[in-house]
A and B are shown apart, each in its own frame.
Chain A
Amino acid sequence: MKITKKIITKIEGEATLKLHKNQNIIEFAEIEFWQYRGIEDFLKNRHYNDASVINPRVCGICGHSHLIATAEVIENALKIKITKKAKILREITVGLEIIQNHIKWFYLTLFPSIKDIDYFKALEFSRDIAKIIALIAGQFPHNSYAIAGGITSDLTNLEIIKIKNFLLKMFERYQEIMNIEGYSKDLEILFEDIPKNIGKSLNKFLVLGNNLFFRANGEIKFVNEEKTSSFNKNALYNDKFYEVGPLARNLKNPLINKIYEEHKDSVYTRIFARLYEVNLIFEYLIKEIDKIDINEKNFIKPRNKNGKGKISIEAPRGSLIHEIEIENEKIKKYNIIVPTQFNLANGNKQNLSPAQAALINEDEKYADFIFKCFDICAICVSH
């Protein structure tokens, strides 16, 4: 047996992958993250609203999900109910963040690890998506328009019409990347030289968030964290590992389910689910925007000053958990569990994480690709 150590880069940071091999076949894999930034400690003793500025800085690509999770966990702790209008607008911005993430991941992270592609069209697409977020939230990345009690912006119908038309246009443009029937020329090109059925994992899926059209299949109270040999903390559910993310939360979609029946939880199904989810989000947001009542309030001032909260939302890579304790409007404790802690956990041979299970028994030459199929956010792990 031989062990090789490899630093995987361009995954919103880096991870160390130690592969235990017999010839070229992977027998076991260790996943380590060696960076730590200390965001949770930075929040202590600050006013809870400061978290709406600090937490988006957990991550440059999915920081908006951290913003929405922050607002929701404070609302959960202080028992605040927001208006339907504020809720819909948050759904739109968080949904759009998922879209820009998937596009960048496919064309800038995954595809170039196999072959060349013109990724500038993907940047153009994600830039236009970011523009719609900015119309609602002020800017992207790193806005703070969602605060406990609602949102800071006060749109007119002029912006609503602009956003709606923009969504319709981008949905149409997306058909060239993957159409509503599930055909994607670029996906076919990617798989010209790679087997579709590699990277099969645990075949166990977890969804904890209830935002957009996603429905939870578990409860956050059963989630626990355990320390590892590196800075990553494993996230488990009832002491077992589960896969979170686009495949987990879209398994009931008939088209994704058909692919899943054929290829199981392989790399192909995982990538397909992520790309196809974009179509589903566009369809959902285009319907939701019509439900906005422009006369509703954007913000309701919180009254309570103390409380504890714990929530989960579906972020680009899966279930994201935020947990808070507030005392006299100040943050006493904050804890963040990110989707990559589930998927890229470092388990042992008896209890493998989704990424470890996906790597085992596969040829070493596919390790990088199988690993990246989970859409890793190393920077989120190192919060």
Chain B
Amino acid sequence: MVKITISDLSFSYRSRKILDDLNLEVRCSEVLGLVGPNGSGKTTLLKCIDQILKPKGSLLLNGREIGEMSRQEIARFIGYVPQSNTSSSSTTVFDIILMGRRPYMGWRVGESDLDKVAEIVDLLDLDDLAMKDFNELSGGQKQKVLIARAICQEPQVLLLDEPTSNLDMKHQLEVLEIVRDLVKEKGISAVMAIHDLNLASRFGDKLAVLLGGSIYAAGDPRSLLNKELIRTVYGVEALVVKDLDKPYIVPMRSLNGRSAG
């Protein structure tokens, strides 16, 4: 079943075109990896999907035009995990996650909201951190908490902006495993912007390669990733190892003449 259908989507900032006529589909139980060089429009696309930015074109969620939905409705449908993770004042992890219930509750916090938060805290093993101040956590812990908040929104679609940036190897895998398991278990969809092609290839069911605001190519990472694509899109000479289940990329040197070592 198709969750998100994007057709002819464009976005301009003042006169500068950032996204140009995108067409894309995301299905249920699918992780879509958005890859591409810096400035290719990955973050902008995520923000357009969540209507934080207002793009031109059509965006259907479960067949419904998103432009006709209220902010509240969108918040029940889409959970967004931003890249920057700061909180301006002291807030406990529990309260941050509870904020994910905002689209469902009024001033009062209901028993079911607390149950939901406790369930998610438990699910992501955040018990020991629950009463700690969010600003005191490490980068990996913060990322997990923000994902927990997005899950608390009980969304159909999870959008993640560089969920592994600033994380060590173990936390990178842990965060992406959480996302993959959630997507499979709950039958939701995830769209994540991610720089690391190997992680994208490994955790993405499908990849979309963005270049200069357009989709250069999209499809299964097994057939999509090859030397030519990496050369054209990134300007990098790379080895593509295909011995494993998913292709593995070893970058060799950038094509402006310098060797990577």
Partners in one complex: no
Seen from chain A, the residues whose Cβ lies within 8 Å of a Cβ on chain B are none
Seen from chain B, the residues whose Cβ lies within 8 Å of a Cβ on chain A are none
